[in-house]
A and B are shown apart, each in its own frame.
Chain A
Amino acid sequence: MKDFLFIYRMNYAGIQERTPEQMQATMQRWMDWMGHMAAKDQLIDRGNRLHPSGKVVGTDGIITDGPYTEIKESIGGYSLVRAASCEEAAELAKGCPVLTMGGNVEVREINAM
């Protein structure tokens, strides 16, 4: 088994105002998906969501506001999963709710130091 990082990207600007019920339904979909991976003993760490804004530190030491969430596909969160191969991990990622919200999942094998 190998370890993989799932990076969830989505377009923050595209997210509409939602009612509490809609937010709860989204939350349940995410939790069901995490539960699905955990039930297959493939979830190492469900990870976290990220705040939309932060800072970017450049090579010249200049700090700017960023990342630029107005552009499409900024990182919304991450999880750590376990799979036999990158193909299997990618297959697993097909169930991610971010895909129904116009986002995508980047699947990267972890190259342990």
Chain B
Amino acid sequence: MEQPELIPHLFRTEFRNIVSVLCRRFGFGQIETAEDIAGDTFLAAAQTWTLKGIPSNPVAWLYHVAKNKARNHLQREHHFRSTIVPGIGMAEPAAEAEEIDLSPQNIRDSQLQMMFAICHPAIAAEAQVGLSLRILCGFGIEEIAAAFLTNKETINKRLYRAKEKLRQEKIAVAMPPPAEMEIRLDAVLRTVYLLFSEGYYSSSHDQTLRKDLCLEAMRLCSLLLENSGTNTPPANALLSLMCFHASRFDARVNEQGEPVLYDQQDTRLWDTELIAKGSYFLNCSATGGRLSKYHLEAAIAYWHTRKEDTSEKWESILQLYNRLLQLEYSPVAALNRTYALARANGKQAAIAEAEKLDLPDNHFYFTLLGELYTGIDNEKAKRHFEQAAGLARTQTDRQLIRQKIDKL
């Protein structure tokens, strides 16, 4: 790899490693220091490598420089605490600066602990996703802003507030105690899933960025599976779910960058390797007594990897949605359940139930009603589609709805 691509590439993979390890060592109070040291390290790399060429082991070079910078920082800190602080009658001197451990094991442990710290219930969900992208995934502020379709200032403010909160709440970079593990892990899984959804359903047109978000969510989930304490059935189910969804990544968009709906997708573009992985992790998740929403969603996603329409397929999907809704209501699940009902029991049965759903601001609701009335009462179908088009927020959604009206 040439230098111009090498540094951004290493930034993506190594920035997070350095920040996690340093932050675990310094505590969250000094997260900016950890980020500064990691940032300075890459700045030094850009300057030195341009002059002297790329070192034989770039990662080792980065770690070495980061360690030196961290050691200098700790020595200054130690000096400050041991000579100046006692003079003004403050706390005891901190321990002597020790070696910074950038071994693979410590990097993994630090990342895992950072995940639990960032996904602390005290932090707002949106901020958790932003912080995860920055600290766990090494995304630039600009990339995060693009993913959220907002500007750098908004993201900077959001991240700043989240970090302040982490400091105020004195959240430790550590694994939660066993008694809290299940609840805290649920919060981590939720954030990983949000991160994935942000990539999968984002209205951003940057395909590469969206895919990166999804792959990062899958990497974080794999990290959880590598640790015995967090390798739980719901975590396996979540990874399975993400593998199944990601298998359609290349089929969902055509060459013009327009979305391709499930029914029209070219199954040859589905990634069979990811489907196999999804099945593997779904099997791994089938232990224990707890059926999480990820289990149900993974099972639904599994049925969607089988293109042929059988009555068994749609009946199974309907029953899975019935159970998913009992665990946790969401308008999306309610609409998808009604669609499955139409496929399993016919449009008339589904219309009767769809009419009773109360989702007056949801354009997907009117799109669904339009779909259900298509071929039964095309006038009504058209009216519903038009209402949907009026509520749709993106150009792409409006386009898709227009196509449906034209087909009537």
Does A38 belong to the interface (CB within 8 Å)? yes
Interface on chain B toward A: helix, strand, loop, or mixed SS? helix
What are 25 A-B pairs with beta-carbon distances under 8 A? A28-B315, A31-B319, A31-B322, A32-B318, A32-B322, A34-B322, A35-B318, A35-B321, A35-B322, A35-B323, A35-B325, A35-B337, A35-B341, A38-B322, A38-B325, A38-B326, A39-B325, A39-B329, A39-B334, A39-B353, A40-B334, A40-B356, A40-B358, A41-B334, A43-B326
Does B236 belong to the interface (CB within 8 Å)? no
Does A36 belong to the interface (CB within 8 Å)? yes
Contact indicator A31/B323 (Cβ below 8 Å): yes
Interface on chain A toward B: helix, strand, loop, or mixed SS? helix
Does B149 belong to the interface (CB within 8 Å)? no
Contact indicator A35/B326 (Cβ below 8 Å): yes
Does B20 belong to the interface (CB within 8 Å)? no
CA of A34 to CA of B337, assembled, Å: 12
Q: Which residues of A contact B334 (CB under 8 A)?
A: 38-41
Interface string of B329-345 (1 = CB under 8 A from A): 10001100110010001
Does B357 belong to the interface (CB within 8 Å)? yes
CA of A93 to CA of B333, assembled, Å: 22
> Pick the contact of A28 from B319, B321, B357 — CB < 8 Å?
B319
Q: Which residues of A contact B345 (CB under 8 A)?
A: 32
Contact indicator B326/A40 (Cβ below 8 Å): no
Contact indicator A41/B326 (Cβ below 8 Å): no
> Nearest chain B CB to A47's CB is how many angstroms away?
11
Contact indicator A40/B322 (Cβ below 8 Å): no
> Nearest chain B CB to A20's CB is how many angstroms away?
16
Q: Which residues of B contact A40 (CB under 8 A)?
A: 334, 356-358
> Pick the contact of B357 from A32, A35, A39 — CB < 8 Å?
A39
Interface centre among B318, B356, B357 (most CB of A within 10 A): B356
Interface string of B298-337 (1 = CB under 8 A from A): 0000000000000000010011011101100100011001
> Nearest chain B CB to A6's CB is how many angstroms away?
14
> Nearest chain B CB to A13's CB is how many angstroms away?
29
Q: Of all chain B residues, which has the CB nearest A27?
A: B319
Q: Of all chain B residues, which has the CB nearest A28?
A: B319
Q: Of all chain B residues, which has the CB nearest A42?
A: B329
